[in-house]
Amino acid sequence: MLFISLEGGEGAGKTTQAVRLLERIESAGLRCLRVREPGSTALGADLRRLIKRSNTSDEALSRAAELFLFAAARSELVTKVIAPQRDDPDLVVVADRFADSTLAYQGYGRGIDIETIKAVNALATHGIAPDLTFLLDCPHEIGISRVRGLQLQMPLDAVKPSDSADRNVEGMKFEEEPAEFHERIRLGFLALADLEPDRWRIVDATRSINIISDEIWKAVQDRLPVTANP
């Protein structure tokens, strides 16, 4: 199994690039499994709704409760979806966020001790970590303007089972945080990338979808199992 994760702030283009990558991996004759966090299991989907709250709710979760909910969703995803397939040499898993998001959001963003989060992550991931992580890096204002553009196109009552519609149904908790919160997260991701340069690739996410997608594909091609025909 080759395990790839996409990280970054909201609206950076993770989902867009995950879909593009899946298409290219499958065209190369490999099996690709796209997962997103939180989500991709029954518990993950329930927790996603809980974490993001509805637009009408102003009840905030405690920092620790938020951490444990993300960890619970991840534990389910790893135990039930990723770990059982880890020995499949032809499988590529593409994760739309993984454990690094917890370090960035709950650690650098919310201020929970980083070592504590690493311990929680270790328990939730059973030691499974991405082989390659793309940080889609862009200023928060650019990401949020892309997300707001989506909301304008999609009224609150447009309930569709898509990633984008979920955002409206579930509420705007993280999106409502101040700019400084998102800046801490951006710097946190950059600091994480700096610590493990072999795993991370920092991608300038302000550019066009096609240019970013080509850059990601170039880096992934070198790592694909030998059975692929890229």
Sign of the C-alpha dihedral computed for residues 60, 101, 182 and 43 taken in this order: negative
Q: What is the DSSP letter of 179?
A: H
| Closer residue to ligand Z5A (CB): 153 or 229 | 153
Q: To 10 degrees, the CA torsion angle through 180, 206, 96, 54?
A: 50
Least Cβ distance, residue 87 to ligand Z5A (angstroms):
25
Least Cβ distance, residue 222 to ligand Z5A (angstroms):
23
Least Cβ distance, residue 162 to ligand Z5A (angstroms):
10
| Closer residue to ligand Z5A (CB): 92 or 103 | 103
| Closer residue to ligand Z5A (CB): 30 or 213 | 213
| Closer residue to ligand Z5A (CB): 150 or 228 | 150
Question: How many other CB atoms are there within 10 angstroms of residue 228's CB atom?
Answer: 17
Question: How many other CB atoms are there within 10 angstroms of residue 134's CB atom?
Answer: 28
Q: Which residues contact 31 (CB under 8 A, 6 or more apart)?
A: 88, 90, 91, 92
Chain contacts with ligand Z5A (rule: CB under 6 A): 8, 10-16, 37-38, 70, 97, 101-102, 105-106, 146-147, 150, 163, 167, 174, 205, 208-209, 212
Least Cβ distance, residue 96 to ligand Z5A (angstroms):
6
Sign of the C-alpha dihedral computed for residues 204, 196, 217 and 160 taken in this order: negative
Least Cβ distance, residue 18 to ligand Z5A (angstroms):
8
Least Cβ distance, residue 178 to ligand Z5A (angstroms):
13
DSSP calls for 69-128: HHHHHHHHHIIIIIGGGTT-TTEEEEEES-HHHHIIIIIIIT---HHHHHHHHHHHHTT-
Give the residue among 74, 82, 77 at the shortest CA–CA distance from 101: 74
| Closer residue to ligand Z5A (CB): 28 or 36 | 36
| Closer residue to ligand Z5A (CB): 101 or 224 | 101
